[in-house]
């Protein structure tokens, strides 16, 4: 099967390079909001927000803007980011990535920490610097380089504001200057400056990151302004007749990049809706072609909307490696897709005999702190996740298992629990805000490893377990209770493995053999 997949991948790559036509959105599915993109030679790099998860700011590479491979995370050391107390509204907000004269820069905001900061590297695969902190406030900072100067824009006091900075020291070199307040939509944010045909273009988002989200643009002959808005604003939104029936909503927070062939493209966030216009997968990364004639305003995909199936010419396509459907731990390291809640305690994570070992602590999934927990983003409505777990050296009340986790106050947990009689049980539990409920508890025949199963479609999560080759269903719960509209926050559902002890004295640990994540 492996050889067949490799051959299929090779044939697809040759076909795509020859034709380069059409693609499917989202180009990066699951919780990957606030995309920013830059070009370095023939390569493209993209970053996303990460909020309360560590490592922060996932970093992707592409050759064609369609196929993206995660190559790391910009913030992978505690010295770069402190996420203490961060939740689904906090932590790392929208980053911007830029490339200038051989150096990559990533600028972002830690709203749970000290505000705006910047890191840099000459090798995006090889690690990024410690942060330099920036004086100008607001969120969603961006950079623009010209004539030996580096400019920063952000949105303090709901107004796009410009200053000159030293990107290596963070020193502010000019007073902050207000340059544009947008077109009147709430939350003018996500600013980016570009220069084309003698004009400075200022791209922003307005309307809030829900159904009223939109992208607007203004331009000026001078970087300090005054900026004149495009009469055809917004240039991207689904809060309109053309987009109101789309399965994609919340389009906004965009960045522009010029392709290697001179074409222009926009990456943006949006989300796929479920019944009732809820969404659980988080805000995802989408791609749209842009027509940008000389001296004219940019036009996004003809009418300012995007679609799942984009039947448009592309750059020559270079498919990335297929995503694995089974994560095994024999390499004794986690791939860059795996994240922790806030800054992890490293000694609670280990690899033993080809298994991932999680040491239980008495920090729970609901405490607002960093439990023993690692997770992947749920990136499709239809999926089947499972893991094989053994809970060892446990005291009564200790537990380990799998969780569909939206936030500290909203998660569905399927786990093995140690009982007072020396036996173990498999338990299904829900937490929805202040409401906590144990749906089912089933005694296990012994303390052998158990396979825990979590399946989903667009409407329902189903939970069960497998013992001696036989599957037992425990219960189901509607997906919408973990949606952003119900649970709140700016993230998406994560599929996590965890271990929790009932007391600080416990020495319990859980060994996970693998994590299977099968998509359609």
Q: Residue with structure tokens 């203490």?
A: 84
Of 57, 59, 52, 37, which Cα lies nearest the Cα of 82?
Answer: 52
Which pLDDT band holds residue 20 (cuts at 50, 70, 90)?
A: low
Which pLDDT band holds residue 324 (cuts at 50, 70, 90)?
A: confident
d(CA 400, CA 472): 18
- Choices 3.30.565.10, 2.115.10.20, 3.30.70.1380, 2.160.20.10: CATH for 20-314: 2.115.10.20
- Per cent of the chain over pLDDT 90 is 94
Which pLDDT band holds residue 4 (cuts at 50, 70, 90)?
A: very low
d(CA 453, CA 515): 10
Overall average pLDDT of the 141-160 stretch: 98
The pLDDT assigned to 322 comes to 85
Mean pLDDT, the chain, rounded, equals 95
426, burial (CB in 10 Å: exposed 0-12, middle 13-18, buried 19+): buried
The pLDDT assigned to 320 comes to 85
The pLDDT assigned to 520 comes to 80
Q: Tens digits of per-residue pLDDT, 392-445?
A: 999 999 999 999 999 999 999 999 999 999 999 999 999 999 999 999 999 999
Q: Tens digits of per-residue pLDDT, 471-514?
A: 999 999 999 999 999 999 999 999 999 999 999 999 999 999 99
d(CA 490, CA 92): 11
Instruction: List residues bridging with 258 in a β-sheet.
Output: 264
Q: Residue with structure tokens 């939740």?
A: 87
Overall average pLDDT of the 454-476 stretch: 97
Q: What spatial distance separates the first Cα and last Cα of the chain, rounded to whole Å?
A: 17
Exposure class string for 497-513: b at 16+ Cβ within 10 A, else e: bbbbbbeeebebbbbbb
The helix/strand/coil state of 487 is helix
- Angle of CA points 292, 294, 298, to nearest 5°: 25
Q: Tens digits of per-residue pLDDT, 204-257?
A: 999 999 999 999 999 999 999 999 999 999 999 999 999 999 999 999 999 999
Class of the 326-518 domain?
A: mainly beta
Of 137, 134, 506, 68, which Cα lies nearest the Cα of 323?
Answer: 68
Domain ranges (residues) in the chain: 20-314, 326-518
- Angle of CA points 467, 339, 257, to nearest 5°: 130
User: Catalytic site residues?
Assistant: 34, 189
The pLDDT assigned to 52 comes to 98
Q: Tens digits of per-residue pLDDT, 34-71?
A: 999 999 999 999 999 999 999 999 999 999 999 999 99
Q: Tens digits of per-residue pLDDT, 359-400?
A: 999 999 999 999 999 999 999 999 999 999 999 999 999 999
Give me the long-range contacts of 435-443 (CB less than 8 A, separation at least 24).
439/463, 439/474, 439/475, 439/477, 440/474, 440/475, 441/417, 442/472, 442/474, 443/419
Overall average pLDDT of the 455-479 stretch: 97
d(CA 84, CA 54): 11
Which pLDDT band holds residue 321 (cuts at 50, 70, 90)?
A: confident
């Amino acid at each position: 099967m492996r050889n067949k997949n490799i051959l299929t991948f090779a044939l697809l790559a040759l076909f795509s390079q020859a034709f380069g036509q059409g693609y499917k959105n989202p180009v990066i599915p699951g919780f990957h909001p606030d995309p920013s993109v830059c070009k370095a030679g023939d390569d493209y790099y993209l970053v996303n927000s990460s909020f309360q998860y560590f490592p922060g700011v996932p970093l992707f590479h592409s050759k064609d803007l369609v196929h993206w491979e995660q190559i790391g995370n910009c913030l992978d050391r505690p010295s770069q980011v402190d996420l203490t107390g961060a939740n689904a509204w906090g932590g790392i907000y929208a980053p911007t990535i830029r490339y200038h004269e051989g150096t990559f820069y990533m600028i972002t905001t830690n709203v749970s920490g000290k505000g705006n900061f910047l890191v840099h590297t000459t090798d995006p695969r090889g690690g990024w610097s410690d942060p330099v902190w920036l004086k100008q406030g607001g969120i969603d900072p961006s950079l623009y380089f010209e004539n030996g100067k580096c400019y920063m824009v952000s949105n303090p006091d709901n107004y796009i504001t410009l200053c000159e900075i030293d990107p290596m020291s963070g020193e502010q070199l000019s007073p902050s200057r207000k340059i544009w307040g947008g077109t009147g939509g709430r939350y003018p944010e996500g600013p980016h400056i570009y220069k084309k045909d003698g004009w400075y273009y200022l791209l922003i988002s307005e309307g809030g990151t829900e159904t009223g989200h939109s992208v607007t643009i203004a331009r000026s002959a001078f970087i300090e302004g005054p900026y004149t808005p495009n009469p055809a604003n917004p240039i991207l939104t689904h809060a309109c007749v053309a987009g109101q029936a789309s399965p994609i909503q919340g389009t906004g927070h965009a960045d522009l990049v010029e392709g290697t062939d001179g074409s222009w493209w926009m990456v943006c966030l949006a989300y796929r809706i479920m019944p009732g216009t809820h969404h659980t997968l988080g805000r995802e990364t989408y791609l749209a072609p842009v027509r940008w004639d000389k001296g004219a305003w940019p036009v996004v995909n003809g009418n300012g909307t995007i679609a799942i199936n984009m039947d448009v010419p592309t750059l020559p396509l270079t498919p990335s490696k297929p995503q694995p459907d089974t994560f095994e731990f024999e390499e004794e390291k986690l791939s860059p897709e795996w994240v922790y809640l806030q800054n992890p305690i490293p000694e609670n994570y280990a690899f033993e005999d080809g298994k991932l070992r999680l040491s239980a602590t008495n920090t729970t999934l609901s405490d607002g702190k960093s439990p023993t927990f690692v997770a992947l983003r749920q990136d499709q409505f239809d999926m089947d996740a499972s893991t094989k777990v053994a809970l060892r050296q446990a005291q009564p009340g200790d537990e380990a298992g799998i969780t569909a986790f939206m936030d500290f106050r909203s998660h569905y947990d399927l786990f093995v629990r140690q009982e007072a009689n020396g036996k173990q049980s498999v338990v299904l539990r829900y937490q929805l805000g202040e409401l906590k409920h144990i749906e089912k508890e089933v005694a296990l025949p012994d303390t052998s490893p158990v396979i825990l199963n979590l399946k989903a479609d667009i409407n329902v999560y189903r939970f069960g377990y497998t013992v001696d080759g036989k599957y037992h269903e425990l219960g189901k719960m509607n997906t919408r209770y973990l949606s952003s509209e119900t649970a709140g926050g700016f993230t998406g559902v994560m599929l996590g493995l965890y271990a929790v002890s009932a007391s600080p004295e416990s020495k319990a640990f859980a060994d996970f053999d693998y994590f299977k994540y099968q998509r359609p």
